[in-house]
A and B are shown apart, each in its own frame.
Chain A
């Protein structure tokens, strides 16, 4: 009856397909419920002069309008640096920033009242791009630096050199369920919040602080999210505070559910980056040293930007050994919504940058890029120390690359692609293989802890609660499997209960791919405590001193739903009967479990340490077809190979890999955030913001995992799989670059991220034209990491 390692459908799958699985906005309304919405800033930077909130609050069906002045507690929050306001005070800092909360009897009343809004704001000069922020010296947090060896020396002595600028735009999380919260005021002013949040503890704490309550007076629960991807790690806080504020002020239940448009316009995204790179390398393609000056566009407040930037620093090596390096990094403060977590958490940008560097090295040396990547790849006995001093151990990176090159017929296809490009006047093909190595653990080391509550009932069934939240990643399914396995009972006898701060306190966000690692270990720890109690009881229960069988826990076994003493196996009891006996024997059948990841640390002063418990790794090879006239891209084939240890649930892990990869493909191809030159997001809904569609899948799509006998740690020798596969998408981006590099051989083509059809055609046009033309060079120098569109007025 082994449950771990099985392909078991998602815990809520039946609820999903029948529509019975409820999300926050599906919960039934109380009779007195108020609908909550907010008034958002229409300008990117300005001073609030006047508004008619008083007047609005008198309109039919409006229960109240609340501003920062109505918050009984404080108006400042932030997971790392407390610099963000729930509700703007006198200054607004981004378009979409909430200024006031409006509550009404119906959606219609709220909508109509909002049309009567008069809001006068004196516009101040905004800052949108990294270049503008650099000029204005607007930063968030401290500059960071990571150094190793002597870059300047190797740069001066380098056989070959490249230098350039890497630019990438942001990405919208695009969870399908928009931000939502439902709040009730209970006895004694206590607040209960249902929140679509990856971080119920933070919601609890922040709601308490905003309302001036103790943490013990607020409960936050989360049954499930309709997707999170990082976008609900911190940013679920604002809607939760809105609902809680209304509930606290009016005593009525309060519901907020953002529209997709408002959600996209007012919440943060993956950070745009600009990285100035320099690399020195040998004629063989071996990197001798790199220097990366890294800038991220943080938006108007810190949010998680500092932690995200840290992960960029720790992933700027990706899978490659760099003997000499300087990474310097800085967060720019701009007038956009505070950028935030998104699957990969700063890793993707750092890894995209170095992949681009390696591709350019291969272009300069006219070598196969795979050869260059393989040459620089982390080794086993040497060439295995990361920039931060951690040794890459028990990994399979070279093996993964070699095996994938083999199974995907990389060499043969590379020749075919070159042949195709020589012949075709209408299309171009490109092929690239990129590896990935992703560090698992929160780099803020203390967050690497989890707790769980396991209750065994008298009929032998079990309820489990952890601080982990379910957003589709299959956490609950895996924990159910782990718990069933611990007691050797059936999967059906275990249920995962709603995540609630009432049962699990001081929890870390479900993030950093560590959800199963931390919460699964904590649940197993609780199970082991109960099992210990039960074992002890069973040893007494089965003992028969008259036959010389004295109580001995060594002889007790849990197997296939039963418990027995191996000296008297015929006396076995079902788990259920044993539990009932134990209850009557006054044995505790409920326990809390706790887990902390051993041995992870990072010294932020020196930049050295062992921030990661282990690495998840893999590689992908992708082939693309480009229309030379329109720049349109077709992903024709992708092959993926991953080392994810021993899978707890292969079906779920397969879903994570495919889903993550395709999400990444969106980031590097069609997901194009465009803003007006006033900082308004123009692509604020699926009409204009194009995430991958079912038609965008590669025609040929192969996915394999491989055995890694060296990986012996972590829960049941599994590996985290949530974030890493996203970065497999870099194979697609690099395949585009590879295609461009076949247009002419005297020039290294540039490629920004995302590689939209427009971006590709622009590069093609450039390549077909005269690149020595100073005009085109000038255009490039002013290019920006965010797309700002100056809108002519449309009339006539």
Chain B
């Protein structure tokens, strides 16, 4: 066990403990290290100005060598306890001697900056694309830069910069560092859990805080049993925002960053099983081949930076009625694996939510994986996300529709709507209505009217209740035109 975090920034080694580890990476960079090239605008993961690269040890290759895999992250919502044994690269480190990096030169030449405030973030996102060896096309650049907002340029010249870049071989931004040393350092320390405890005094009131970074599931489960009020942090993309905005003040954190046991996706004859530490980026890649409907939703989910960190498990545990994974999980009747010191149990997702942010889960339980049955390719499955802006936006309304046919009649239908109540809802009356009906426009027109009656959405910052009601009705027609009309013709 260690009582400090080990973090490299731009090739320099830092041991961080106590209160210093309990802060966001962007604060550490800007205030402690004076690396002010990294900007903070929103402190909630939505603008990308704070983008940096994080390198972590990946799986060894065929020769048994490991290397650091670099990804973009939002430094404002990654706290240092999530970054143990990670190498951070910031915009300051891209220069080689006095020579600016080709990515930077491309941005200069294409006039990719105006006021320059967003620019370091864009440069780092482009660097992340380079690390992933992505081929630059207009589409891939848009996808790679979805997490970066710019108010000045209108983006075209940034796209130009990226497209010009592809023509030239670009050295990896990691070439400026001695990775061997970092890797061997990490290899030693990665086997040790980290535990830090400290006290804060303010106006005579003392507050005890601690954070724990286990390296095995067993350690994690036992820590949860022994401590009250443990705040579990997976990707931190929900929880760190809550902390930054002072909506919560956790004093006992457990970071799951090192639980490599939970990092895989298993597929067997019956189930797809997704580990609780699988990031949205990894799940997205998997779905592209195996589950295009979910892949479509993941494509417009948040941003690369968020998807590199955030997890499906976190999305489920966060229990938002507009969590994008839930309509899918509801209609596919997925199961959540809960692990506690007493063992493991599986809970069907439709039983998981008991009210607004209320989970059927005990405080000493941890979500360890999520699984669902492989679907029959003839079944109809469609997922919808309606948001104000198509990309990097939280949903106004979501829907999952699943239909199994038998003899040209609907045998099973499952409908789940999000954003229309305190939890994601199944629509039993509409489902019942659909039973044994043919796939006709009339069926879905009527179903829409029934669906509308089953929900009582509210008005909020994202939309009025009326809009949500109308969507609840219309989405079934949209489904008819997109999936069924074509299906009927085929039959």
Contact = CB atoms under 8 A, between A and B. Distances in A.
A686 B46 contact: yes
Nearest to B468: A758
Contact of B117 (A177, A425, A627, A694): A177
B386 interface: yes
A224 interface: yes
Contacts of A472: 113-116, 152
A659 B112 CA distance: 11
A541 interface: no
A693 B391 contact: yes
B142 A226 contact: no
Contacts of A229: 151
A660 B155 CA distance: 11
Interface string B446-457: 000000000000
Given A658-B157, A757-B388, A794-B356, A694 B115 contact: no
Interface of A: 7, 9-10, 12-23, 25-26, 28, 59-61, 109, 111-112, 115, 173-178, 224-227, 229, 259-261, 425-426, 471-474, 627, 629-632, 634, 651-652, 654-655, 658-663, 670, 672, 674, 682-683, 685-688, 690-697, 701, 756-758, 761-762, 765, 789-792, 794-796
Given A175-B117, A694-B145, A761-B470, 11 more contacts: A10-B111, A16-B116, A19-B38, A227-B114, A660-B154, A686-B42, A686-B44, A690-B388, A694-B142, A694-B146, A796-B422
Given A225-B115, A695-B390, A794-B458, A758 B467 contact: yes
B146 A674 contact: no
A173 B115 CA distance: 14
A482 to B, nearest CB: 18
Interface in B363-415: 386, 388-394, 396
B415 to A, nearest CB: 16
Contacts, number: 253
19 contacts: A14-B100, A17-B119, A19-B35, A19-B120, A176-B149, A226-B39, A227-B115, A227-B152, A631-B467, A658-B157, A687-B394, A694-B145, A695-B142, A695-B390, A696-B390, A697-B155, A758-B463, A791-B458, A794-B356
A21 B116 contact: yes
B123 interface: yes
Interface stretch (B128-136, B257-265, B472-480): B472-480
Interface in B353-368: 355-356
Interface in B35-51: 35-39, 41-44, 46-47, 49
Contacts of B422: 794, 796
B111 A792 contact: no
B478 A682 contact: no
B389 A690 contact: yes
B58 to A, nearest CB: 27
Interface in B134-152: 141-143, 145-146, 148-152
B464 interface: yes
Contacts of B90: 19
Contacts of B155: 658, 662, 692, 694, 697
A60 B202 contact: yes
A17 B203 contact: no
B154 A663 contact: yes
Contacts of A762: 466-467, 470
Contacts of B112: 17
A662 B114 CA distance: 14
A659 B104 CA distance: 20
B470 A789 contact: no
A464 B39 CA distance: 29
Given A18-B37, A686-B47, A795-B356, A789 B158 contact: no
Interface in B41-93: 41-44, 46-47, 49, 90-92
B115 A425 contact: no
A260 B43 contact: yes
Q: How large is the interface on B (under 10, 10 to 19, 20 to 34, 35 or more residues)?
A: 35 or more
Nearest to A114: B246
A413 to B, nearest CB: 21
A703 to B, nearest CB: 8
Contacts of B44: 685-687
Nearest to B141: A694
A658 B153 contact: yes
Residue from the set B113, B386, B466, B482 with the largest chain A CB neighbour count within 10 Å: B113
A691 B151 contact: yes
A90 to B, nearest CB: 29
A686 B34 CA distance: 26
Interface string B410-426: 00000000000010000
A26 B36 contact: yes
A693 B391 CA distance: 7
Contact of A687 (B46, B467, B481): B46
B159 interface: yes
B37 A176 contact: no
A492 B464 CA distance: 56
B290 to A, nearest CB: 25
Please name the 5 residue pairs, one residue from A and one from B, whose CB atoms are nearest each other, closest first.
A19-B37, A472-B115, A226-B117, A16-B116, A472-B114
A224 B116 contact: yes
Contacts of B199: none
Nearest to B462: A688
B173 interface: no
B94 interface: yes
B458 to A, nearest CB: 5
B459 A227 contact: no
A658 B154 CA distance: 5
Contacts of A792: 458-459
Given A10-B114, A655-B111, A663 B461 contact: no
Nearest to A649: B111
Nearest to A424: B481
A684 to B, nearest CB: 9
Contacts of A790: 459
B108 interface: yes
A794 B199 CA distance: 35
Contacts of A701: 156
B119 A655 contact: no
A21 B44 CA distance: 24
Given A17-B104, A176-B39, A630-B475, A655 B203 contact: no
A257 to B, nearest CB: 9
B116 A655 contact: no
A17 B100 contact: yes
A12 B115 CA distance: 9
B107 interface: yes
Contacts of A697: 142, 154-156, 159
B154 A659 contact: yes
Nearest to A681: B461
B108 A14 contact: yes
Contacts of B116: 10, 12-13, 15-16, 21, 224, 226, 472
Contacts of A761: 467, 470-471, 474
Nearest to B461: A682
B228 interface: no
A222 B361 CA distance: 55
A655 B107 CA distance: 13
B349 interface: no
A794 B459 CA distance: 11
Contacts of A686: 41-42, 44, 46-47, 149
Nearest to A26: B36
A253 B55 CA distance: 38
A694 B159 contact: yes
Contacts of A654: 111, 157
A634 B389 CA distance: 10
Contact of A661 (B92, B154, B386, B459): B154
Contacts of A7: 111
B109 interface: yes
Nearest to B204: A60
B461 A695 contact: no
Nearest to B90: A19
Given A9-B108, A23-B117, A227 B36 contact: no
